[in-house]
Amino acid sequence: MHVVDRAGRILHANRAELKLLGYDASDYIGRDIASFHADEDAINDILARLTRGEAVERYPARLRARDGSLKHVEISSSGQFENGELVHTRCFTVDGIANQIRRAGDDPKRGPLPPNTGCIASCHLYNRCTRYNYLL
């Protein structure tokens, strides 16, 4: 989870987000959120929606991790407004691949994936899982 001001600067980030991306708080907080996004169009779309007062739910994005790798994530976010002006956004960032695999494991014919089991999934760009098999 992170909080971003109306200028796009990160005001706060929790340990889970820092761990997901491999950053220390001092390397993440205070920086422009757009500098972590691999797709300029995606972050511009997210920020435009939030500025208009729209909520964003499970928006697929790619973030740059500290080690240079790209993390496929899903972002859910909403803005806080005062007198009609955006003050800041609160964003929840989760590992998009893990969520797709979890959802792929919920087979309508067999029911949801039982706890403490897994599946092998074939996922494409932007977190689309196309095939999976239960691990037995």
> What integer pLDDT is reported at residue 134 of this predicted model?
47
66 & 89 share domain:
yes
83 & 114 share domain:
no
> What integer pLDDT is reported at residue 136 of this predicted model?
42
Domain span holding position 85:
2-95
8 & 20 share domain:
yes
88 & 112 share domain:
no
> CA torsion angle for 105, 19, 40, 104 (degrees, to 10)?
0
27 & 66 share domain:
yes
* pLDDT (tens digit per residue) in 39-57: 999 999 999 999 999 999 9
16 & 46 share domain:
yes
63 & 119 share domain:
no
74 & 13 share domain:
yes
Partner residues linked to 131 by β-bridges: 122
> What integer pLDDT is reported at residue 135 of this predicted model?
46
Distance CA 43, CA 119 (A): 31
16 & 66 share domain:
yes
66 & 129 share domain:
no
Higher pLDDT, 118 or 55: 55
18 & 63 share domain:
yes
113-134 in b/e form (b: 16+ CB < 10 A) is beeeeebebebeeebebeebee
The band of 112, judged by pLDDT with boundaries at 50, 70 and 90, is low
List the CATH number of the domain containing 12.
Answer: 3.30.450.20
pTM of the predicted structure, to 2 decimals: 0.71
> CA torsion angle for 66, 70, 72, 74 (degrees, to 10)?
50
Which contiguous run of DSSP H or E holds residue 48?
A: helix 40-51
Total structural domains within the chain: 2
* pLDDT (tens digit per residue) in 50-86: 999 999 999 999 999 999 999 999 999 999 999 999 9
